[in-house]
């Protein structure tokens, strides 16, 4: 259910852009969502459909690209994928250090909006 307030914010940003560009219709919105955001893409799409009804975005598509989680080793600076199956036991594959800095995986970015003028 935490997807609804987020999609409302995304919708408002899209509508602001569409108004600024004098759009007649919004056709597609592209999002990048980090896997650590813990959003269910189907819920985001369902709420998008609900909130965009009877607006210039009615019938538009919400396309979501998931961003995998990555960390940077605090010792040797190696970047590595975070094992989502075992979040508490992620170690640098190069040196074995167990303290990394999260560098990807929490994104929520509107990276493109398609409109018709």
pLDDT band at residue 84 using 50, 70 and 90 as cut-offs: confident
Asked whether the beta carbons of 34 and 67 are under 8 A apart, the reply is yes
Q: What are phi and psi of 20, to 5 degrees?
A: -60, -35
CA distance 17 to 9: 13
Higher pLDDT, 2 or 15: 15
Asked whether the beta carbons of 68 and 35 are under 8 A apart, the reply is yes
SS3 26: strand
pLDDT for res 1: 57
pTM of the model: 0.84
What is residue 52's DSSP assignment? H
């Amino acid at each position: 259910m935490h997807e609804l307030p987020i999609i409302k914010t995304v919708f408002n940003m899209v509508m602001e852009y569409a108004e600024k560009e004098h759009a007649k219709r919004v056709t597609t919105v592209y999002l990048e969502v980090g896997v650590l955001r813990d959003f269910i893409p189907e819920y985001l799409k369902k709420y998008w459909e609900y909130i965009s009804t009877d607006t210039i975005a009615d019938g538009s598509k919400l396309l979501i690209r998931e961003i995998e989680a990555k960390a940077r080793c605090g010792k040797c600076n190696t970047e590595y994928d975070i094992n989502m199956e075992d979040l508490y036991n992620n170690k640098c594959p190069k040196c074995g250090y167990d303290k990394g800095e999260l560098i990807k995986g929490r994104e929520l970015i509107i990276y493109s909006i398609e409109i018709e003028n």
